[in-house]
Amino acid sequence: MDAADIAAFVAVAQTTSFTRAAEGLGTSKSNVGKAVQRLEARLGTRLFQRTTRAVRLTEDGETYLLAAQAALDGLREAEMALAARREEPIGRVRLDLPAGFGRLLLPALATLRQRYPKVTLEVALTDRMSDPVAEGWDIVVRIGELAADSEMTVRKLCNLRLGLYASPGYLDTHPDIQSISDLNSHDAVIFKGPTGRLRPWTLQDGDHVHSISPTPVLVMADGQALIDATINGFGLSQILDRVARPHVAAGRLRHVLPEADVPGPPVHAIIPVGRRMAAKTRAVLNHIAEALQD
């Protein structure tokens, strides 16, 4: 059933004139007449009594007018609601975050709920490489350089630094670390990336940057698990500065050889390309970006 035919019928019923209905709809009297005829043929009944001087609703026409007006009013309300949602952040946003880094953003997401109470978040904390389009994510945050992808909108959120960290308990029971060479006598907790490759430690040594691959006592494929293992005294690990910062402040970790810190990978937000970014998605993205700038 064509909504335009129903609108034409309602216009004729309200104006009691095919001519005035056509003027109000911005079309011709002939088009309005054909629309009403199609509707009558579909319903199998006459909706109007027509004379040379007047147009009146039949009994069936009066019954159908009540339902048609309610249907059109419902459609208008739906259109207004959808228009409002495009302007006001409303609805669910699906967010995929790296495991360890994502926990860093949880306080920011809590303040986002206060700022936009009509936005609901669905959050996954994982280090696997998800597919934003196939899995239906609104925003995917990834750490590292990205390959060009025409199906994605990419926004850089911040830069990170990499440093060595260990628990106070571990450092208090092992030899002092004064230089990079002292690391040879220490236990290492190493991260294994999604490709299965062990991530080496990249360290600043004076004017030179060295990449070393210490023999691990523990290999972790989960970013948060690596942090937990380091806090629990398994050894030293190389951790992103923003992730380590709250644990250092709480006394759970100590920063080792800060002069050996190196620039880390960038952080990007990936958004599947659409005709227009929804207000809810833009609000969440901007809030995360603001939190990382702070």
Q: What is the pLDDT along the chain (294 residues), one digit of tens a residue?
A: 688 899 999 999 999 999 999 999 999 999 999 999 999 999 999 999 988 778 999 999 999 999 998 888 888 878 777 765 667 788 899 999 988 788 888 888 889 988 899 899 999 888 777 777 667 889 999 888 776 665 678 888 988 899 999 999 999 999 999 999 999 889 999 998 877 889 999 999 888 898 999 889 999 988 888 999 999 999 999 998 988 999 999 999 999 999 999 998 889 998 886 556 788 888 999 999 998 886
Distance CA 248, CA 124 (A): 25
Closest CA to 13 of 57, 50, 44, 45: 57
- Domains of the chain (ranges plus CATH)? 3-86 (1.10.10.10), 91-158+266-293 (3.40.190.10), 160-263 (3.40.190.290)
CA-based Rg of the chain, rounded to a whole angstrom? 32
Across 239-277, b (16+ Cβ under 10 Å) vs e yields: bbbbbbeebeeeebbbebbeebbbebeebbbbbbeeeeb
pLDDT score, position 294: 65
Distance CA 140, CA 154 (A): 10
Does pTM surpass 0.85?
Answer: no
Bridge partners, residue 216, by sequence: 188
